Amino acid sequence: MSNQTINAQKEILRQPSTIALVGNPNTGKSTIFNALTGLRQKIANYPGITVERKMGTTIINGVLHKIIDLPGAYSLNHKKADERITYETLIGSYDHEEKPDLLLMVVDASNLERNLFLASQVMDLQIPMLMVLTMSDIADERGIRIQSQQLSNVWGVPVISINARSKKCDVQIKQALFEQGVATPKPFKWNPSKLLRQAVDRLDREWLSEHTQLPERARPIEALRLLAEGSLEDSFYQYSEEEKAKKLIEELQNTLEAQGENPTAVEVVQRYSFIGDSSEGSVTKEQRDEQTWTDRLDNVLTHRVAGPVIFVLVLLVMFQSIFSWATPFMDMIDMLFIEFGAFVGSSLPAGLLNSLLVDGIIAGFGGVVIFLPQIIFLFLFIYFLEGSGYMARAAFVMDGFMTKVGLHGRSVVPLMSGFACAIPGIMATRTIENWRDRLITIMILPFMACSARLPVYAVMISAFVPDKRIIGFLTLQGLVFFGLYLFGIVMAVGSAAVMKRIFPTGKPTPFLMELPSYKWPNISSVVIQSLERGKIFVTEAGKIIVAISIILWVLASFPTYEPTANDLADMDANRQISEQMLSTLQLNQSYAGTFGQWIEPAIEPLGFDWKIGIGLLTSFAAREVMVGTLNTIYSIEETEEQLGLIERLRGEIDPETGLPKYTLATALSLMIFFAIAMQCMSTLAIVKRETNSWKWPLIMFGYMTVLAYFSAWITYEWANTFLLG
Amino acid sequence: MIVPLTTTKIGEQVRVSCLNCTSEDTCRLQELGCVEGATGTVVSNQKNIILQVGECRLAITHPLAMNILVEPVSKKKSSNL
Ligand SMILES: Nc1nc2c(ncn2[C@@H]2O[C@H](COP(=O)(O)OP(=O)(O)OP(=O)(O)O)[C@@H](O)[C@H]2O)c(=O)[nH]1
Ligand SMILES: [Mg+2]
């Protein structure tokens, strides 16, 4: 191999610069980003976790630099929304964003040759870089030895080798940047056939250089990509004279095809063969024949029959355990809030402020914070699974089924993140290649029971489903809980199957994915990330809930009720009961009560009264607010003793019949409504952003809400007839 | 002897000899390291295939695997499954 001289530049780091992290998916870019910036980007053992640009800063030798974390890509020949972001950032065609001054080219040392493919393409862009070999610990374990110096000579850039998970990784990188600097690589020389070269040149001349703002060095790559993919329409820009370009590309493609030329084949083969030659001197590997852990686990987990069964079992255990393990913690939080409310109530003089604090804010907030343990458990599970490398297997074994219903194996991970929250789930669909698969996944994703529904489910189940043990650790309540998640999945799958028929079928994209080797998840980072999510839950929910609780408290406390002579006479007879009656009368004639009773007829068929109705309305701000709202309403309406929301719901009596007002039927109907209805403004906003039009979020809102109403109605009727009749 | 990847057995070593799919799928396979001439080991074949190419483990569905033509290199004993 001919060695290159390295023209290391060190001055470049004297001024503030923008440094981008580029590399294959799942190579440790975000791990490095977090170490350098102190931020907490999501990290997991699955190719395609980062799906957007993320900015941070770091100080190297006294100078503040910007760091950009990018989605992973296998080549610059991008096919997916996330890869496109990386590509556009690199070629500097991102609107309003500066392009990177230098790169940290992240390369997985345990899978060097494959990773160097992207590196060699990126080098054509001639941006100064430092090559960072990550996973050096894993490479060591597998007996792969890499001579960094050798590698550096061949590629003409400085190389360092690190374990990105280790604590000192940021120091190592900074030191390397400072001591070794960066170097501008030379573009790779490959020999396209004459025909291909002519095609590239023509496309460059007649289209790219005239009609696009691409820098010169990026044009051959873009030309090649256009010849291979042929699609302009996915790009972010609306070009003028796009038609002309399309025609030109088609013409060139036809010429190439007639000569039996595959546009990318030559480039790829030559790059790989250069990589193969270059690693001869710098990489050695001990031959080992033993079965690895990954082999053994894969024999079971990717089994045709056992694989899907295990996946369902994993979900079952997950939902059962978040329901039962979290209970003691929830009781504790519940007690704390009751105590705290009582303390505040007794230490402040009675009056409006007291009531606003205790009944409005503390009750509303406490009603939601109580679900923090369940949320944290849910995230612990999800992060653990993602960190282990299992999720790629789940995607693989579920692909057959997913394809049948109009989705794709790659939909599995976005859908799973939907259990936490629909928003990251919708973002994660950027890893799906096919636009139609992606759209259907987005459109059904909100059916996945997100953590904001959990409080409503938990309250209703604890109040109205008998606490019976079925077998082993499975309880009836746990099963109903799992059933609700399952119901969400069934709705999602059913709707996808319907949409598959409605939306035009394109060419399907067969499932192809790299399976990362299993890793023991980094427990401390799993725990930290879960706690982080818990914090977000509390602060985000907190903000909305405090606001809504205050508004609601005002609406439910005014106008104040003036007792009539009749009431006063009653009060003499029995003080205790009358005070309770008074508060009920107060609530009923308040603004909230009046409005609630006005909408009651619309929700009566579903088994809801006006109090739930008010809860439903507020829940369109955020689902979990429902529970806070009920808590606030019930705190304003006093009882003899301090009771939790669950007892209050059970004890609510219908004044006309004298029977309990809420039954299992009400609970089921309400839960079904929540399972289906589109009650999340932020989700709609994200759908608008990802699909680039208001059409899809509006359709989503419409079909889900209508479906929710009728399903809840049917459920209520059915439960009344068959369960309680 | 050139056969579709789907007809290979677990543990078999193969050399990829022809990617007979659309240029887009070809491109996806290539950038993952599954290029013509690369050798790999069949880790699992249960309709869908897991093919280990170098250090990279690829999950490939049946329809795609049918279009990957390979040449068995040398028979290794089938691993116990
Ligand atoms: N053993 C080991 N594990 C690492 C190292 N670097 C990263 N990891 C793990 O590799 C996985 C992927 O890390 P990420 O930082 O999410 O990778 P990424 O490149 O940002 O991935 P995408 O965002 O999907 O492109 C995680 O499970 C990390 O804990 C390393 O040097 N050694
Ligand atoms: Mg990342």
Domain containing A210 — which CATH number? 1.10.287
pLDDT band at A630 (very low <50, low <70, confident <90, very high): confident
A155 and A213 share one domain: no
Q: Which one of A268, A294, A413 makes the best mutation probe of the B interface by having the most chain B beta carbons within 10 Å?
A: A268
Is residue A533 in some structural domain?
A: no
Q: How far is the CA of A385 from the centre of ligand 1 (A)?
A: 14
> B58: helix, coil or strand?
strand
* Residues linked to residue B60 through DSSP beta bridges, in sequence order: A512, B49
Chain-wide mean pLDDT for chain B? 84
State which of A114, A165, A528 you would mutate to test the pocket of ligand 1, scoring each by most atoms of that ligand within 8 A of its C-beta: A165
Q: Please state, in angstroms and rounded to a whole number, the distance separating the CA atoms of residues A351 and A574.
A: 23
> Looking at ligand 1, which residue's alpha carbon is closest to its atom 23?
A50
A403 and A432 share one domain: yes
- A79 and B24 within 8 Å at the Cβ level: the answer is yes
**Which residue, A448, A464, A484, sits at the end of a domain?**
A448
CB A614 within 8 A of CB A636: no
Is residue A254 in some structural domain?
A: yes
Q: Tell me the count of A-B CB pairs closer than 8 A.
A: 117
A630 and A708 share one domain: yes
Q: Which residues of A touch B27 (CB under 8 A)?
A: 75, 77, 79, 228-229, 264, 268
Query: What token pair was written down for A3?
Result: 């060695």
Any residues with Cβ below 6 Å from ligand 1, and which?
A 23, 25-31, 43-45, 47-50, 71-72, 134-135, 137-138, 163-165, 387, 519, 522
Q: Which one of A190, A252, A515 makes the best mutation probe of the B interface by having the most chain B beta carbons within 10 Å?
A: A515
Report pLDDT for B76. Answer: 47
Is residue A512 in some structural domain?
A: no
* Residues linked to residue A660 through DSSP beta bridges, in sequence order: A653
pLDDT band at B25 (very low <50, low <70, confident <90, very high): confident
Report pLDDT for A240. Answer: 63
> Looking at ligand 1, which residue's alpha carbon is closest to its atom 9?
A28
User: Does the interface predicted TM-score (ipTM) exceed 0.95?
Assistant: no
Q: DSSP states of A14-43 as a string?
A: GS--EEEEEESTTSSHHHHHHHHH------
Report pLDDT for B65. Answer: 92
A158 and A207 share one domain: no
Flag whether pLDDT at A640 surpasses 80: no
> Is the minimum CB–CB distance between B71 and chain A shorter than 8 Å?
no
Chain-wide mean pLDDT for chain A? 84
Number of domains in chain B: 1
Q: Please state, in angstroms and rounded to a whole number, the distance separating the CA atoms of residues A369 and A361.
A: 12
A299 and A264 share one domain: no
Q: Please state, in angstroms and rounded to a whole number, the distance separating the CA atoms of residues B9 and B19.
A: 19
Q: Please state, in angstroms and rounded to a whole number, the distance separating the CA atoms of residues A672 and A692.
A: 30
> Is the minimum CB–CB distance between B2 and chain A shorter than 8 Å?
no
CB-based burial, B14-44: b 16+ in 10 Å, e otherwise: bebeebebebbbbbbbbbbbbbbebebbbbb
Q: How many C-beta neighbours within 10 Å does residue A238 have?
A: 8
Structural domain of A218: 194-285
For residue A45, which atom of ligand 1 is closest to its CA? 27
For residue A47, which atom of ligand 1 is closest to its CA? 24
Flag whether pLDDT at A25 surpasses 80: yes
A263, closest residue in chain B (CA to CA): B23
A18 and A133 share one domain: yes
| A129-134 and A474-475 strand pairing | unpaired
Q: How far is the CA of A47 from the centre of ligand 1 (A)?
A: 9
Among A143-152, A372-381, A405-414, A700-709, name the one with the lowest average pLDDT: A372-381
Q: Please state, in angstroms and rounded to a whole number, the distance separating the CA atoms of residues A373 and A232.
A: 48
Number of domains in chain A: 4
- B55 and A294 within 8 Å at the Cβ level: the answer is no
pLDDT band at A659 (very low <50, low <70, confident <90, very high): confident
**Which residue, A183, A211, A245, sits at the end of a domain?**
A183
Q: Which residues of A touch B81 (CB under 8 A)?
A: 299
Flag whether pLDDT at A656 surpasses 80: no
Q: Which residues of A touch B32 (CB under 8 A)?
A: 74, 114, 512, 514
Please tell me the number of the ligand nearest to residue A134's CA.
1
> Is the minimum CB–CB distance between B73 and chain A shorter than 8 Å?
no
Q: How far is the CA of A43 from the centre of ligand 2 (A)?
A: 6
Burial of A317 (0-12, 13-18, 19+ CB in 10 A): middle
Q: How far is the CA of A348 from the centre of ligand 1 (A)?
A: 53
Q: What does residue A490 show for φ and ψ, rounded to 5 degrees?
A: -60, -45
CB A20 within 8 A of CB A90: yes
**Which residue, A132, A152, A183, sits at the end of a domain?**
A183
Report angle CA A92, A93, A95 to the nearest 5 degrees: 115
Nearest to B44 among A79, A111, A302 (CB): A302
Nearest to A107 by CA among A125, A79, A132: A132
A241 and A102 share one domain: no
Chain centroid offset of residue A306 CA: 27
Which residue type, as a one-letter code, is found at position A696?
Answer: W
Is residue A213 in some structural domain?
A: yes
> Looking at ligand 1, which residue's alpha carbon is closest to its atom 7?
A28
Is residue A522 in some structural domain?
A: no
Report pLDDT for B77. Answer: 44
CB A479 within 8 A of CB A468: no
pLDDT band at B80 (very low <50, low <70, confident <90, very high): very low
Q: Which residues of A touch B35 (CB under 8 A)?
A: 268-269, 272
Q: Please state, in angstroms and rounded to a whole number, the distance separating the CA atoms of residues A29 and A32.
A: 5
CB A27 within 8 A of CB A106: yes
| A300-314 average pLDDT score | 91
Report pLDDT for A239. Answer: 59
CB-based burial, A204-231: b 16+ in 10 Å, e otherwise: beebbeeebebeeebbbbbbbbbbbbbe
List, for residues A249-302, the tens digit of each pLDDT value: 888 888 887 877 777 777 888 888 888 888 887 888 777 667 778 888 888 899
Q: How many helices and strands (H and E) does chain B possess?
A: 2, 6
Is residue A322 in some structural domain?
A: yes
Q: Which residues of B touch A304 (CB under 8 A)?
A: 46-48
What's the gap in Å between the CA of B53 and the closest CA on chain A? 9
A212 and A307 share one domain: no
pLDDT band at B49 (very low <50, low <70, confident <90, very high): very high
A364 and A441 share one domain: yes
For residue A413, what are the contacts with CB-CB under 8 A and spacing of at least 6? A46, A48, A386, A391, A394, A395, A428, A431
A298 and A266 share one domain: no
- A269 and B61 within 8 Å at the Cβ level: the answer is no
A396, closest residue in chain B (CA to CA): B59
Which residue type, as a one-letter code, is found at position B24?
Answer: E
What's the gap in Å between the CA of B16 and the closest CA on chain A? 13
Q: How far is the CA of A75 from the centre of ligand 2 (A)?
A: 16
| A129-134 and A159-161 strand pairing | parallel
A95 and A112 share one domain: yes
- B59 and A507 within 8 Å at the Cβ level: the answer is no
Which residue type, as a one-letter code, is found at position A465?
Answer: V
Q: Which residues of B touch A269 (CB under 8 A)?
A: 35-37
Q: How far is the CA of A49 from the centre of ligand 2 (A)?
A: 5
Flag whether pLDDT at A235 surpasses 50: no
> A470: helix, coil or strand?
strand
For residue A50, which atom of ligand 1 is closest to its CA? 23
CB-based burial, A660-694: b 16+ in 10 Å, e otherwise: ebbbbbbbbbbbbbbbbbbbbeebbebbbebbeee
For residue A26, which atom of ligand 1 is closest to its CA? 21
B77, closest residue in chain A (CA to CA): A289
Which residue type, as a one-letter code, is found at position B10?
Answer: I
Flag whether pLDDT at B79 surpasses 50: no
Q: Which one of A432, A509, A512 makes the best mutation probe of the B interface by having the most chain B beta carbons within 10 Å?
A: A512
Structural domain of B12: 3-77
Q: How far is the CA of A205 from the centre of ligand 2 (A)?
A: 36
- B48 and A118 within 8 Å at the Cβ level: the answer is no
Report the CATH number that the domain containing residue B70 is assigned in CATH.
2.30.30.90
Is residue A454 in some structural domain?
A: no
Q: How far is the CA of A706 from the centre of ligand 1 (A)?
A: 43
A406 and A278 share one domain: no
Nearest to B54 among A111, A295, A409 (CB): A111
Nearest to A560 by CA among A283, A265, A383, A351: A351
- B26 and A142 within 8 Å at the Cβ level: the answer is no
Report pLDDT for A671. Answer: 92
For residue A465, what are the contacts with CB-CB under 8 A and spacing of at least 6? A476, A477, A480, A664, A667
* Residues linked to residue B44 through DSSP beta bridges, in sequence order: B50
C-alpha dist (Å) from residue A697 to A80, A444, A644: 22, 11, 37
Q: Please state, in angstroms and rounded to a whole number, the distance separating the CA atoms of residues A147 and A328.
A: 54
Helix pair A327-347, A306-325: axis angle to 10 deg: 30
With pLDDT > 90 as the criterion, what percentage of chain A qualifies?
26
pLDDT band at A563 (very low <50, low <70, confident <90, very high): low
Q: Please state, in angstroms and rounded to a whole number, the distance separating the CA atoms of residues A587 and A569.
A: 20
Q: Please state, in angstroms and rounded to a whole number, the distance separating the CA atoms of residues A383 and A386.
A: 5
Is residue A360 in some structural domain?
A: yes
**DSSP alpha helices (H): ranges in A465-574?**
476-502, 523-557, 565-573
Q: Which one of A26, A27, A79, A514 makes the best mutation probe of the B interface by having the most chain B beta carbons within 10 Å?
A: A514
